[in-house]
């Protein structure tokens, strides 16, 4: 059986970017990855616009919740292979000790939860950030991890985080496939 890589996506509030990245990794990773998300200071609720984006690809959202990163540094927590920060604030914080010494990278995105305006304007911002996250996730899940050594993987995941997200590269314009069943 092929290895399944555990991925933890961190943000400050764990209400939008990290939640959307968790869902996208689980969908686009096609079973090769098991993604989780958490926050340094979780807000307690998942943003409804983030839920809307995940539902648009058929991702089940009923179990999503805003949670602390402490859950993943506690005894008995899944051992992570990768830890990604998706907001600048979380990237600058002192993270807990992660068992297993996962590879880490920062993939910064603007905070869609900070968007102002009508619901439709907020929805558009969430859609844009969702597509940006999707672009980086596609690059990540397509890496031939079994053929790369640790240094090469670290270089690749760091480079993914430095890839410009605007304008959206052409290869990211395609829509993700909907989840058939989970």
What pLDDT digit, counting tens, does each position of 43-86 carry?
999 999 999 999 998 999 998 999 999 999 889 999 999 999 99
Of 74 and 174, the structure prediction assigns the larger pLDDT to 74
Cα 148 to its chain centre, rounded Å, is 22
In a domain, 180, yes or no: no
The string of DSSP codes covering 72-118 is GTSTTPPPPSEEEE-SHHHHHSPPPPPTT--EEEE-----GGG--S-
In a domain, 26, yes or no: yes
- Identify the active-site residue in 7, 9, 87, 153: 87
Domain that holds residue 154: 5-172
What value does the mean pLDDT take over residues 86-97? Answer: 71
What pLDDT digit, counting tens, does each position of 18-36 carry?
999 999 999 999 999 999 9
- Identify the active-site residue in 43, 57, 77, 95: 95
In a domain, 181, yes or no: no
Return the pLDDT at 2. 84
In a domain, 83, yes or no: yes
Return the pLDDT at 33. 98
Return the pLDDT at 182. 39
Return the pLDDT at 42. 94
11 given a catalytic annotation: yes
Return the pLDDT at 99. 82
What pLDDT digit, counting tens, does each position of 110-166 carry?
999 999 999 999 999 999 999 999 999 999 999 999 999 999 999 999 999 998 887
Q: Is residue 180 scored above 50 in pLDDT?
A: no
Contacts of 155 (CB under 8 A, 6+ apart): none
In a domain, 177, yes or no: no
- Identify the active-site residue in 7, 9, 11, 20: 11
Whether residue 8 contacts residue 73, with contact meaning beta carbons closer than 8 Å, is answered with: no
In a domain, 179, yes or no: no
Number of domains composing the chain: 1
Q: Is residue 96 scored above 90 in pLDDT?
A: no
95 given a catalytic annotation: yes
In a domain, 90, yes or no: yes
Supply 17's token pair: 């970017």
- Report the CATH number that the domain containing residue 157 is assigned in CATH: 3.40.50.2300
In a domain, 150, yes or no: yes
172 given a catalytic annotation: no
């Amino acid at each position: 059986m092929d290895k399944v890589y555990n991925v933890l996506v961190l943000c400050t509030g764990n209400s939008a970017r990290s939640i959307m990245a968790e869902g996208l990794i689980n969908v686009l990773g096609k079973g090769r990855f098991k993604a989780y998300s958490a926050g340094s200071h979780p807000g307690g609720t998942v943003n409804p616009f983030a839920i809307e984006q995940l539902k648009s690809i058929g991702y089940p959202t009923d179990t999503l919740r805003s949670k602390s990163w402490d859950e993943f540094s506690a005894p008995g927590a899944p051992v992570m292979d990768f830890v990604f920060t998706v907001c600048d604030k979380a990237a600058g914080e002192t993270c807990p000790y992660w068992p297993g010494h996962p590879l880490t990278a920062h993939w910064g995105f603007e905070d869609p939860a900070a968007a102002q305006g009508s619901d439709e304007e907020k929805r558009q911002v969430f859609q844009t950030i969702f597509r940006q996250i999707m672009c980086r996730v596609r690059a990540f899940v397509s890496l031939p991890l079994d053929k790369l050594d640790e240094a090469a993987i670290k270089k690749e995941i760091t480079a993914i985080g430095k890839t410009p997200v605007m304008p959206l590269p052409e290869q990211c314009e395609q829509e993700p496939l909907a989840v058939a069943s989970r």
